C-alpha cells in the first residue's frame, strides 16, 4: 500500500475507533451500552439512536451458531451493524450473508460472474452522481422489499463517502398520539417512477441497461417488524409518492413533514468507511443515505440483498 494511502487508512480506522469509544461511554441508564456476547464478540454502539460496531470476529471463517445468534441479535437491537478489517472472497462473503437470510439477485444490475447475487456498487473517478444518493429504504416499490442489505468496501476515497442511517422505530415513537393513530390507517404508494425522478444510481443503471416497466407497491405507512414486533415509519423520500386513496397534492404536506421528521439528527448515526468495512442494515426499520461529498476518487463496494417479506 502506498504511504499516503496507508496514512489515510490508519487515520480513518483510528477516527472510527475513537468515535465508537466516545459514544460507548454513556450513562449506565442509557440504552446504548458496550457489551460482550457469550460468543466472545464485542458490540460497540456508535450512537445513542442506531448502529453498533462488532469486533472480535473473522467473517471469512465459519461462524459458530453462537456467533450467528449474537450477530442477529445485535442487528435486531441496533438496526445496522458494522464490521471492520474483513478480508473476504466473493464465496466467503456470500457464505456469511446466508446465515441471516436468502441472498437474491438484484433485478437492475448484473451480478458478479459466478456469484450473481453480488453486485458491484461503483462510483468512478469521473462520475459526479453516486449509487442511491438519497434517503431511502431499499426498493419499497417491490411487493416484498428486501429484509436487509450487506455492503463490503473494496475501494474508498481518502475522505468523504460516509453513509448515514436513521432509526425508524424512534421516528415513529416520537410522533404525537394523534398522528400515530392517523398513520396506522394509511398506506403509502411506492413507485420506481419517483426513483427515476430522484436520479438514484440504481435506476440510472436500470435505464441504461436494464429497462423495465414502472414498478409500484402499496405498503402500510407504519409497519410492524416481523421479528421484534415494534412499529416503525415505512415511507421514504426516494420511493413514496402518495397515500393510497389520496392525491399526490393532498399527500404532499404530510409526506414532507414525515420525510423531514424521520431523519432528525437524534435518530441517526454516520459510518466512516475503510477498505474491509462491512455495513449490514435492517431494511424493515432503518433508512440510509450514502453521502455524495467526494469526487475524483473511485469508490467500489460489493452488495448482497437479502430476501424480505410483505410488510404488515
d(CA 287, CA 143): 18
The three cell numbers of residue 5 are 494511502
d(CA 120, CA 122): 6
Q: Strands (DSSP E) along the chain, which ranges?
A: 35-36, 42-45, 52-55, 80-83, 103-104, 118-123, 148-155, 163-167, 187-191, 216-220, 222-224, 231-233, 240-243, 268-271, 278-282, 286-290, 299-306
| Cα Rg of the chain (Å, integer) | 19
Look at the block and give the residue holding cell 435518530. 267
Catalytic residue among 8, 12, 78, 138: 138
Residue pair 108/286 in contact (Cβ under 8 Å)? The answer is no
Look at the block and give the residue holding cell 469486533. 55
Catalytic residue among 8, 201, 239, 288: 288
Contacts 24+ apart (CB under 8 A), 119-127: 119/302, 119/303, 120/300, 120/301, 120/302, 120/303, 121/151, 121/201, 121/300, 121/301, 121/302, 121/303, 122/298, 122/299, 122/300, 122/301, 123/201, 123/298, 123/299, 123/300, 124/298, 125/296, 125/297, 125/298
Catalytic residue among 8, 219, 272, 303: 303
Q: Is the dihedral of CA 233, 238, 239, 240 positive or negative?
A: positive
The reply to whether 136 belongs to the active site is: yes
The reply to whether 196 belongs to the active site is: no
The reply to whether 288 belongs to the active site is: yes
Catalytic residue among 136, 223, 242, 299: 136
Which of 70, 104, 106 lies closest to 210, judged by CA?
106
The reply to whether 95 belongs to the active site is: no
Active site residues: 136, 138, 288, 303
Amino acid at each position: 500500500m502506498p504511504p499516503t494511502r496507508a496514512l489515510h487508512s490508519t487515520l480513518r480506522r483510528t477516527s472510527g475507533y475513537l468515535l465508537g469509544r466516545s459514544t460507548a461511554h454513556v450513562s449506565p441508564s442509557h440504552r446504548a451500552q458496550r457489551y460482550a456476547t457469550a460468543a466472545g464478540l464485542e458490540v460497540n454502539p456508535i450512537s445513542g439512536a442506531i448502529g453498533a460496531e462488532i469486533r472480535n470476529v473473522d467473517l471469512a471463517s465459519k461462524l459458530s451458531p453462537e456467533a450467528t445468534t449474537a450477530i442477529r441479535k445485535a442487528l435486531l437491537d441496533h438496526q445496522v451493524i458494522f464490521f471492520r478489517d474483513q478480508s473476504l472472497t466473493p464465496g466467503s462473503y456470500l457464505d456469511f450473508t446466508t446465515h441471516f437470510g436468502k441472498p437474491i439477485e438484484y433485478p437492475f444490475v448484473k451480478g458478479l460472474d459466478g456469484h450473481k447475487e453480488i453486485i458491484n456498487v461503483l462510483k468512478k473517478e469521473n462520475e459526479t452522481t453516486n449509487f442511491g444518493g438519497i434517503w431511502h429504504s431499499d426498493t419499497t416499490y417491490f411487493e416484498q422489499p428486501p429484509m436487509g442489505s450487506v455492503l463490503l468496501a473494496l475501494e474508498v476515497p481518502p475522505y468523504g463517502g460516509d453513509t448515514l442511517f436513521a432509526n425508524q422505530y424512534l421516528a415513529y415513537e416520537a410522533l404525537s398520539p394523534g398522528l400515530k393513530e392517523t398513520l396506522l390507517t394509511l398506506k403509502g404508494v411506492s413507485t420506481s417512477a419517483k426513483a427515476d425522478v430522484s436520479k438514484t444510481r440504481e435506476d440510472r443503471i436500470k435505464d441504461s441497461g436494464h429497462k423495465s416497466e414502472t414498478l409500484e407497491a402499496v405498503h402500510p405507512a407504519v409497519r410492524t417488524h416481523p421479528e421484534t414486533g415494534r412499529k416503525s415509519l415505512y415511507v421514504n423520500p426516494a420511493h413514496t409518492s402518495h397515500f393510497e386513496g389520496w392525491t399526490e397534492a393532498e399527500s404532499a404536506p404530510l409526506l414532507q413533514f414525515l420525510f423531514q421528521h424521520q431523519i432528525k439528527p437524534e435518530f441517526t448515526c454516520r459510518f466512516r468507511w475503510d477498505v474491509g468495512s462491512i455495513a449490514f442494515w435492517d431494511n424493515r426499520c432503518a433508512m440510509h443515505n450514502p453521502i455524495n461529498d467526494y469526487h475524483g476518487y473511485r469508490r467500489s463496494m460489493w452488495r448482497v440483498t437479502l430476501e424480505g417479506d410483505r410488510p404488515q
